[in-house]
Amino acid sequence: MTRYLQIWLASARYSVVRTLMFRFDFFLWAVVELCWMSVNLLLIAVIYDHTNSIAGWSKYEMLLLVGTSLLVQRFLMGFFWSSIFEMGRNIRTGHFDFFLAQPGNVLFMASTRKIDLDGLVNSFVAMGVVAYAAHKLGLHPSALDLVLYAVMIFCGLIIHYSLLVLAVSFAFWATSAQGLEGIYFTMAEFSRLPRAAFRGLAAVVFVWMLPVVVVSNAPASTLLHGFQPSWALALLGAALLWLGAAVTVFHLGLRRYSSASS
Amino acid sequence: MFVALNKYGHAFLLGLQSNLVYRFNFAVRGFFSLFHLAVVFILWGAAFAGAPSIGGFSFGQTLTYFLVMLVMQFFVGAFNEDYQISEEIRNGLINQFLLKPINYFLYRFSIFLAARLVTGVLILLPLLIAVPLLRNYLVLPHDWWRLALGVPAMALSAIIQFSIAYCFGLLTFWFLEIQGFVILSMAVESLLGGQMFPLDLLPAGVFRVAQFLPFYYQTYFPVAIFTGRLNDIGLIWQGLGIQLAWVLIFLVFNQLLWVRGLRRHTAVGG
């Protein structure tokens, strides 16, 4: 465990040095992420210009939900995106051999190699959105609520990580397929919607079968209505289940990997 | 004229073949766009539950707008043309075009047309699933003039879409990596092109400004004509005029970028 922490810290240090070398890149990508976050927030602003409620959620409740969803996504972007995105490309080109030769868990080594500071910088913007919405709603969460919110964000990060690893792992089977990571972005769209908006088949698929709604709704509901054991259990269960599925599928795929030009 | 048609006709056929190789990618993308449609249905369905009409349009009309927008993107949207052009410049593959009587813009545009033919046909497959499910909601006006004005608007949109992608591809003459610029532009395009929400829902002043920007003519303009969000024929003619002006501006700008870029090009590799 300590050895993995040391490896991760070494990767983090390398990422910081790399960012300092390519300062323009850092600035550009920070602006790119900020723009995409703004686009999602503007969508909410425009809809609430014409209506007062979305599935019973007021404008600032919705802002808190979207801010929470963006926060989990920014952490994913900061800690894992580049590494997992490159993982898919490396599997296709055969450059994945490099990770197989490293003395450690392959998935850990391949998915934690790079850290993007631009994503992490924007996580503060997402926190600002959540804090602003909470202020507008007059919320005063206790320290325990904040700790629970943070734990739930961490569980959400595990779920997002698992979804992305699952999407990219398909490259082991379909080596000509590109843009598989796009599946993740499609799924992430659902996490910006309130649970109450899902009805019928949509509720079965996106609330119960896929973990895309619980990721943001559980922490947002904790801030809005206090701790709810049912949400917390659903989130924890989904995190464990999907991480297990991602690790299993990744290792099944790894058996098919036939090195260069695969 | 015939020789030129023959030349770029071959490029079109070449594009058709190479894009058919990636039919699986496009089909997956088309399939996952159904999920985007599901998000639209759930979000706007919930918004309309509290308001019978938004911006003067019903839920059915809004849903129709997003469905036509989706189809339009597959017919006229630039997918990865910017990256392909960038790759050709970086790897020196454009060198061969500098020695031959081939206009690189027209060559790439021919391939773009072939790609849109493939993606346009492939999006019809997921539509076979979506349209029966949504048939009770879809509301399309039947005025013949919408087709007469909408199709030219769609053609001009395709040129604008390609031109913007071409511009970003040519940035490779100055920058090694263009992905950041492309994704930044995608955010602006998806917002001001009407992919996130119908632009007429913006405050009046902002909407008026948006009408003079090229993004408005990338997808929103033809979609608004087809789906009845634009009804004033005079305004549509005015829009076509502005759209044509943007096409000309982009053609000139692209040529300028190409000439200036080639001065920096060192023709390594290829």
Please give the C-alpha separations between residue A65 and each of A54, A197, A223, in angstroms, as whole numbers: 12, 13, 10
Nearest to A173, CA basis, from A92, A93, A95: A92
- Report the C-alpha gap between B68 and B224 in whole angstroms: 9
Quickly state the pLDDT bin for B29 (edges 50, 70, 90): confident
Structural contact between residues A236 and A156, judged by C-beta atoms closer than 8 angstroms: no
Quickly state the pLDDT bin for B69 (edges 50, 70, 90): very high
Binary contact (A179, B25; C-beta < 8 A): yes
Q: Which residue has tokens 């019809």?
A: B124
ipTM for the whole complex: 0.88
Instruction: Number of A to B CB contacts under 8 A, please give it.
Output: 99
All residues of chain B having their beta carbon less than 8 Å from the beta carbon of residue A179 are 25, 28-29
For B103, the 3-state DSSP assignment is: coil
Handedness of CA B117, B122, B126, B128 (dihedral sign): positive
Residue B203, number of CB atoms within 10 A of its CB = 10
Nearest to A114, CA basis, from A240, A29, A196, A10: A10
Question: Is A176's Cβ below 8 Å from some Cβ in B?
Answer: yes
pLDDT of res. A262: 43
Q: Which of A25, A31, A183 faces B32 most closely, judged by CB atoms?
A: A183
- Report the C-alpha gap between A211 and B210 in whole angstroms: 37
pLDDT digits 0-9 by tens, A3-20 = 889 989 999 999 999 888
Q: Choose the weakest-confidence range: A46-55, A210-219, B52-61, B124-133.
A: B124-133
pLDDT digits 0-9 by tens, A113-155 = 899 998 899 999 999 999 999 999 999 999 999 999 999 999 9
Residue A88 is assigned to a structural domain of this protein = yes
pLDDT digits 0-9 by tens, A72-97 = 999 999 999 999 988 888 887 888 88
Binary contact (B32, A55; C-beta < 8 A): no
Six-digit token string for A97: 């051999």
All residues of chain B having their beta carbon less than 8 Å from the beta carbon of residue A198 are 42
pLDDT of res. B269: 58
pLDDT over threshold 60, residue B66: yes
All residues of chain B having their beta carbon less than 8 Å from the beta carbon of residue A197 are 42-43, 45-46
Q: Which of B28, B44, B202 faces A177 most closely, judged by CB atoms?
A: B28
Structural contact between residues B75 and B154, judged by C-beta atoms closer than 8 angstroms: yes
Q: Which of A42, A51, A202 faces B47 most closely, judged by CB atoms?
A: A51
pLDDT digits 0-9 by tens, B160-180 = 999 999 999 999 999 888 989
What is the distance in angstroms between the Cα of B192 and the nearest Cα belonging to chain A? 10
CB proximity list for B145: less than 8 A, separation 6 or greater: B233
More confident residue, A256 or B64: B64
Long-range contacts of A170-173 (CB under 8 A, 24+ apart): A170/A253, A171/A88, A171/A91, A171/A92, A171/A253, A172/A91, A172/A252, A172/A253, A172/A254, A172/A256, A172/A257, A173/A253, A173/A256
- Report the C-alpha gap between B198 and B64 in whole angstroms: 11
Question: Is A28's Cβ below 8 Å from some Cβ in B?
Answer: yes
- Report the C-alpha gap between B129 and B25 in whole angstroms: 19
Residue A218 is assigned to a structural domain of this protein = yes
Q: Which residue has tokens 């879409």?
A: B161
Query: Which residue out of A25, A41, A52, A54 would a mutagenesis test of the B interface target, given it has the greatest number of B Cβ atoms within 10 Å?
Result: A54
**pTM for this predicted structure:** 0.89
> What backbone phi and psi angles, to 5 degrees, belong to B54?
-120, 120
pLDDT over threshold 60, residue B270: no
Q: If you average pLDDT over every residue of chain B, what do you get?
A: 90
**Torsion angle, alpha carbons of A215, A165, B118, B153, to 10:** 40
Question: Is A25's Cβ below 8 Å from some Cβ in B?
Answer: yes
Quickly state the pLDDT bin for A257 (edges 50, 70, 90): confident
| DSSP label of A81 | I
CB proximity list for B6: less than 8 A, separation 6 or greater: none
Structural contact between residues B53 and B138, judged by C-beta atoms closer than 8 angstroms: no
Count Cα atoms within 13 angstroms, Cβ side, for A126.
28
| Total count of domains within chain A | 1
Structural contact between residues B168 and B191, judged by C-beta atoms closer than 8 angstroms: no
All residues of chain B having their beta carbon less than 8 Å from the beta carbon of residue A55 are 46, 49
- Report the C-alpha gap between A259 and A86 in whole angstroms: 15
Binary contact (A50, B51; C-beta < 8 A): yes
Q: If you average pLDDT over every residue of chain A, what do you get?
A: 89
- Report the C-alpha gap between A82 and A11 in whole angstroms: 13
* φ/ψ bin of B55: left (φ > 0), alpha (ψ from -120 to 50), beta (otherwise): left
pLDDT of res. A260: 58
- Report the C-alpha gap between A78 and B239 in whole angstroms: 42
Please give the C-alpha separations between residue A167 and each of A75, A213, A238, A245, B126, in angstroms, as whole numbers: 18, 18, 17, 11, 20
Residue A17 is assigned to a structural domain of this protein = yes
Binary contact (A54, B196; C-beta < 8 A): no
Residue A133 is assigned to a structural domain of this protein = yes
pLDDT over threshold 70, residue B156: yes
pLDDT of res. A179: 64
Helices H / strands E in chain A, number of each: 12, 0
Structural contact between residues A149 and A133, judged by C-beta atoms closer than 8 angstroms: no
Long-range contacts of B92-99 (CB under 8 A, 24+ apart): B92/B267, B92/B268, B92/B269, B92/B270, B93/B269, B93/B270, B94/B265, B94/B270, B95/B267, B95/B269, B95/B270, B96/B270, B98/B262, B98/B267
Residue A261 is assigned to a structural domain of this protein = no
All residues of chain B having their beta carbon less than 8 Å from the beta carbon of residue A42 are 191, 196
All residues of chain B having their beta carbon less than 8 Å from the beta carbon of residue A29 are 180
Print the domain residue range for A221. 2-256
Binary contact (A197, B187; C-beta < 8 A): no
Binary contact (A189, B51; C-beta < 8 A): no
pLDDT digits 0-9 by tens, A36-74 = 999 999 999 999 999 989 999 999 999 999 999 999 999
Residue A262 is assigned to a structural domain of this protein = no
- Report the C-alpha gap between B3 and B109 in whole angstroms: 17
All residues of chain A having their beta carbon less than 8 Å from the beta carbon of residue B191 are 39, 42
